[in-house]
A and B are shown apart, each in its own frame.
Chain A
Amino acid sequence: MENRWIAYLIPPFIITLLLVAGSQFVFIQNSFYQDLGLGRTGTDLTLTNYLKFFSDSFYLKTFWITIKVSAIAALLTLFLGFPIAYVVARMKSKLAMFLLAGIVVSTFVTIVIKVFGLIIIFSADGLINKTLLNLGLIERAYSIIGTQEGVVIGLMHFTIGFSVLLLYSVVVTVPPSLEYAAQIHGASRFRVYQRVIIPLCAPGFVVGGLMIFNMCMGAFTSAALLGGGRILTLPVLVQRTVMMEVKYSTAASIAFVLLVSVILINLFSLIAIRRLRSARLVVA
């Protein structure tokens, strides 16, 4: 009986595989041919595109910036998202559902609108700059466009709703009774966080952090609009290579490097966490 139902999954699986893996395969295959420009490629298999990527300081710098801003954004998003998720998860009133619904709805707002909202808030006569200038904390308006900080803020803005939802689902699995028990035995609130909540949520932090990191690595709109042509990340570089130079093979090689690097970073992170756990350096 169960096998009969599994059989129904085979056609959608094949279609998905063809659409996702098939198109990726064509693209990746292209990356192993010399790029002759305007969508044309050479006939012999070669690693020219990859050799260029790994020998050109511009590409390596862009690669490093992509990893750096994604990692910082992922860490800060977790750091900001966890308290919100915790508070909502521990709420007993119906407000929690409203707050969660608000977060879900906000994720439906297109990222372009969100980023333009950020640009307006951070503009020279925007709320943030006016406040900081009036408080005398800065001498001249600060612009987030074209800065790595701006890109990080944009990536955080993009992923924060997702991170709250993700961490909420982790926090609700930790029974409040454990916190009460610790407190009854004299633990301070800080101690409860340090020894009970955070260790129990640690696997969720790792998985959530990696998921947010992956989203940031592939994010285009925030990085393109807030990078302002000055801070390039790999997804932005792929778009520019396709649109401006019409170099499909080169773009494919950059995209493949991005894909493989994300897979490897995830893999190594999970291996490292497992080793730390077995060495009892991580409680979870």
Chain B
Amino acid sequence: MKKNKNPLASLGLAFGLALGVSFSATAGEFDGVTLKVATWGGSWKANMEKIIVPKFEALGGKIEFVTGSPAANFAKLVAGRGRAPFDVMEVLDAQVGDFAQVDYLQPINLDLIPNKVNLQPFQYNTTYVGSWNTQETICYNTEKFAELGLPAPKTYADLAASELQDKVSLPDINSGAGLANFGGVIYAAGGDEQNIQPGLDLLKKINATKFWTRGGETKTQFESGDIYAAVVHAGWCTRAARAGSPVMTVHPEIKPGVKGLAKEGWLGIMKSSKNVKAAHWFINEYLTTDFQYEYAINSGVFPLNKDAIEKMKGDEINAKLMELRPDAISSMLRLDYSKVDKTAWIDGWNKTLTK
């Protein structure tokens, strides 16, 4: 038997063995673990399936999705008295107050989320880690506005123009963006979290006839000519633009020094979860540059990851329709939901805007 005396071959063999050992060690990290994630369906889930799921499966685990809006998933939680059918959940800023009352989340060990360095300090704490945000805008059809002789809207009140009658779509109070945008309208009309009447008066003046529950509806309505303007987050406007609609966004003037409105998304780990390590791993992966960028491009949300935000500048449509300057993003209105009386807001909305 001849011995192989080629030192390069021995080195290669040793390297290969070492790689194999190290790979098999990490490969089994989540053997037999099924992590359940509560999130939206559609492009949200598809992006996770494309980027995060293969990585988790390479570590031996499996990810299942419980799809639905955060409101629907919260309702499931309440019905199950906190025994969640999932481990990790997407939470909207408007729900943070509700979660505070029911104690369904467990603390997050931030040491297990090294990718938090890509976020700003206010975007994570021991209960929630930020996942994305949205820039709530007025998306309008530039060609139709030009045809009607209307200038680009500057704020919500401009949507009350008689030429736009029956051509404006607002987020329904029942939608994920409902409370946030209602809040934006309230502030723009001179009210605040506790004084909603100016906002209701302005909404009455706008007299919108269409209310969307899913942002995708506005994209279809822009394409079919059913609407010329919509209050919707910039991501849906970029989707309409990518589909060929001649649309542009305006970050509405809310009050002196405040232009635009931001809605925050968070991730939380359920108290009933037994897959705590995997849940932390998932949140950490959510914050990688690759995922945050892909997510932003395909779902239309805005990334929190600083490098992903930089990458956004390379996309022509994003650069045109989204606010990419950090100082301008920071100065957008963020509602204080602890001051929001949800029941009063919904009640006021229902009594004013339903026929």
Q: Which residue of A lies closest to B342 (CB)?
A: A245
A128-156 contact mask (Cβ, 8 Å, vs B): 1 or 0: 00000000000011010111100000000
Stretch at the interface among B193-201, B256-264, B278-286, B345-353: B345-353
**A126 contacts partner chain B, Cβ-Cβ < 8 Å:** yes
Docked-complex contact B354 and A228, CB < 8 angstroms: no
Contact among B81, B102, B209, B225 for A230, CB-based, below 8 A: B209
Chain A residues near B343 (CB-CB < 8 A):
37, 245
Docked-complex contact A146 and B209, CB < 8 angstroms: yes
Given A146-B209, A229-B211, A244-B71, A125:B225 Cβ within 8 A: yes
**A246 contacts partner chain B, Cβ-Cβ < 8 Å:** yes
A195-238 contact mask (Cβ, 8 Å, vs B): 1 or 0: 00000000000000000000000000000100011111000000
Chain B nearest CB from A104 CB (Å) reads 30
Chain A residues near B351 (CB-CB < 8 A):
57-58
Contact among A38, A120, A243 for B174, CB-based, below 8 A: A243
B320-352 contact mask (Cβ, 8 Å, vs A): 1 or 0: 000000000000000000000011001100110
A residues 22-49 in Cβ contact with B at 8 Å: 37-39
Question: What is the predominant secondary structure among interface residues of chain B facing chain A?
Answer: helix
Give the A interface residue count (CB, 8 A): 31
Given A230-B353, A246-B74, A38:B102 Cβ within 8 A: yes
Max chain B CB contacts within 10 Å: which of A120, A148, A230? A230
Chain A residues near B342 (CB-CB < 8 A):
245
Docked-complex contact A231 and B354, CB < 8 angstroms: yes
**B2 contacts partner chain A, Cβ-Cβ < 8 Å:** no
**B143 contacts partner chain A, Cβ-Cβ < 8 Å:** no
Chain B residues near A62 (CB-CB < 8 A):
354
**B101 contacts partner chain A, Cβ-Cβ < 8 Å:** yes
B53-67 contact mask (Cβ, 8 Å, vs A): 1 or 0: 000000000000000
Docked-complex contact B78 and A124, CB < 8 angstroms: no
Given A229-B173, A243-B75, A146:B210 Cβ within 8 A: yes
Given A37-B343, A125-B225, A148-B355, A229:B75 Cβ within 8 A: no
B residues 213-249 in Cβ contact with A at 8 Å: 213, 221, 224-226
Chain A residues near B178 (CB-CB < 8 A):
244
**B150 contacts partner chain A, Cβ-Cβ < 8 Å:** no
A141-183 contact mask (Cβ, 8 Å, vs B): 1 or 0: 1010111100000000000000000000000000000000000
Instruction: State in angstroms the CA–CA spacing of A248 and B79 once bound together.
Output: 9
Instruction: State in angstroms the CA–CA spacing of A39 and B224 once bound together.
Output: 40
Docked-complex contact B174 and A229, CB < 8 angstroms: yes
Chain B residues near A246 (CB-CB < 8 A):
74-75, 78, 98
Chain B nearest CB from A268 CB (Å) reads 28
Q: 7 other contacts beyond A58-B350, A146-B355, with CB at 8 A cut-off?
A: A38-B78, A38-B101, A123-B221, A125-B225, A145-B210, A244-B173, A244-B346
> Which 8 pairs show the lowest CB-CB distances between chains A and B?
A229-B211, A229-B172, A39-B78, A123-B224, A124-B225, A124-B226, A125-B225, A146-B209
Selected A-B contacts with CB under 8 Å, 18 pairs: A38-B78, A38-B98, A39-B78, A58-B351, A120-B224, A126-B224, A141-B226, A146-B211, A228-B172, A229-B353, A229-B354, A230-B210, A231-B355, A240-B174, A243-B71, A244-B178, A245-B342, A246-B75
